[in-house]
A and B are shown apart, each in its own frame.
Chain A
């Protein structure tokens, strides 16, 4: 007992190590087989980039990717603007009538299983489609914006709550009007939170399968719904290749997000 460590718990390190290995192993295998020359994903036929090439030449893949980015960028920007405004309205204040309601309303999309929201939107939007005849990407963008808001709201609110109200008071003390205080003090300090919210919203939109699957009209596949369709039909290493590129993108965004939101000043 010479080195009694108070933090040690028997077996915990082993379980943790297993978890980290298990979390990454399937992803590594998936990426590995993306470079497989063989058609089957069970044998190794040598290194090749042919599946990346085939995905690149697949117009369906490119269309779905472009669509994913269109929806993702518009929805993320709209959601971030709405979430920033909502965060300003719901933080750093004494409780006022309606505050709890706002919290509940903003977080509501997180509390309902995606399948239920998907069904609800399917019904609602199909009615509107009949009424208006419009069947463009607007429905998907609206749906994505709605479920991205609580995610964008999260880091923005966190940032705001950690911001010292005294700074804004100091600005007011130094003759800055409320609007100039917002422009010169609040917004610059909030910026990392807004950026983090924007990236989170974009990733969340890019990842969505269920709601998109229910809301999309014919020919409106996003990359994830296209992939789901392919996987259900049977798999080729082309899916591995697409997944690899997708993964790379996600990791890049998450890394950026991680460092922005961790940055302390």
Chain B
């Protein structure tokens, strides 16, 4: 996958947890969020939407804030845009603190979830609005608007009112409008959520293309883990006002640091294990079944006797003989491309195995079968919590 290659090209990543920042290359950071808190309400009704968040976003990066609704991802975006002010902390844009600036003085632009196109203006007028406000000359505006229309393939509809174009087209106009003033950072607040499935897939590719062509840093907010995995260079997973983990899609999926991250992204099996023999980022985990497997260890893991181990369903194999785990088939669910086999382990835990389907045969197991489960090398990860 492309993203993995990029990971290898990128510098080693900065530390990011709980206010401790170790910026590797501070000059290359487009945005640096330092110890930002945002509290809404007052007195007893205080709610901390962001609880001391720190994160660095690199230049030219497609960076995604991922999390369930109410996790604080949109709040963070609004603080960067300037629609809200942080209660504490700094937001640096190429080294300059922009947190106290009003939105119209920040060289960042936003693509809104509802697009927020001006209904009393044409497509071209919408796209040119930012340039007009910046006091650009008529000729310059015209040229740039034309360029933008071409970029989003909307030349034919320049004179239309925004109410006369489709949702997908409105999305493109919103993008063009935000890109036209050439912002240092583009903020995208769940921009694809209003589109239907097919259009969303198209726009995902389109967004990647635009980012590549313009070379602008994108900060993308979404609650859709699949969208985050396919589009991002790096992802920050958020929950309850905190950033839990920052990493490449591959990091986030295969090396989740916490239970929440593992659970929120993809399907996962959680097993309790006794930990022994740590070293070199790996540990020996003895499962309840008695089997001992080798597992990678999450960053920031504090050595302890018992921990949670996660195994993705596609990284385990079902056998009719003995495996690392043993149990009884409880349920078999057919998904077209694959089949999920739910197993009740002898230890009492539940475990799901995902098995690729072939055309000719069934999955080879039936409900009630006694089965073994083999966990592949490098398939298990010990969580931090």
Contacts and interface: CB of A to CB of B under 8 A. Distances in A.
Contacts of A127: none
A163 to B, nearest CB: 10
A173 B104 contact: yes
Interface stretch (B116-124, B215-223, B299-307, B327-335): B116-124
Interface in B111-148: 112, 114, 116-120, 129-130, 133-134
Nearest to A185: B118
B120 A169 contact: no
A177 B132 CA distance: 12
Nearest to B110: A173
A167 B83 CA distance: 12
Given A174-B109, A174-B177, A174-B181, A169 B103 contact: yes
A169 B78 CA distance: 10
A174 B130 contact: yes
A180 B134 CA distance: 12
A171 B102 contact: no
Given A169-B83, A170-B110, A175 B116 contact: no
A137 interface: no
A119 to B, nearest CB: 45
A176 B103 CA distance: 9
B120 A189 contact: yes
B104 A172 contact: yes
B283 interface: no
A166 interface: yes
B163 interface: yes
B81 interface: yes
Contacts of B117: 170
- Specify the main secondary structure of chain A where it touches its partner: helix
Given A170-B110, A173-B81, A175-B181, A164 B133 contact: no
Given A166-B112, A180-B133, A265-B163, A172 B103 contact: yes
Give the interface size bracket for B toward A.
20 to 34
B119 A175 contact: no
Interface in B9-63: none
A176 B104 contact: yes
Contact of B116 (A167, A176, A177, A189): A167
A177 B104 contact: yes
B133 A166 contact: no
Given A180-B133, A189-B120, A265-B119, A172 B102 contact: yes
A211 to B, nearest CB: 38
A188 interface: yes
B137 to A, nearest CB: 15
A175 B133 contact: yes
A175 B130 CA distance: 6
Nearest to B108: A173
A184 B132 CA distance: 11
A80 to B, nearest CB: 20
Interface string A128-171: 00000000000000000000000000000000000010110111
A166 B130 contact: no
Give the top 8 A-B pairs by smallest Cβ distance, nearest first: A174-B130, A170-B116, A175-B133, A166-B116, A172-B103, A176-B133, A173-B110, A175-B104
18 contacts: A166-B114, A167-B118, A169-B103, A170-B112, A170-B117, A170-B118, A171-B133, A172-B102, A173-B81, A173-B104, A173-B109, A173-B110, A175-B105, A175-B181, A177-B104, A177-B133, A185-B118, A189-B119
Given A172-B104, A173-B82, 20 more contacts: A164-B114, A167-B119, A169-B103, A170-B110, A170-B112, A170-B117, A171-B118, A171-B133, A172-B83, A172-B102, A172-B103, A173-B108, A174-B129, A174-B133, A175-B104, A175-B130, A176-B104, A176-B133, A180-B133, A189-B120
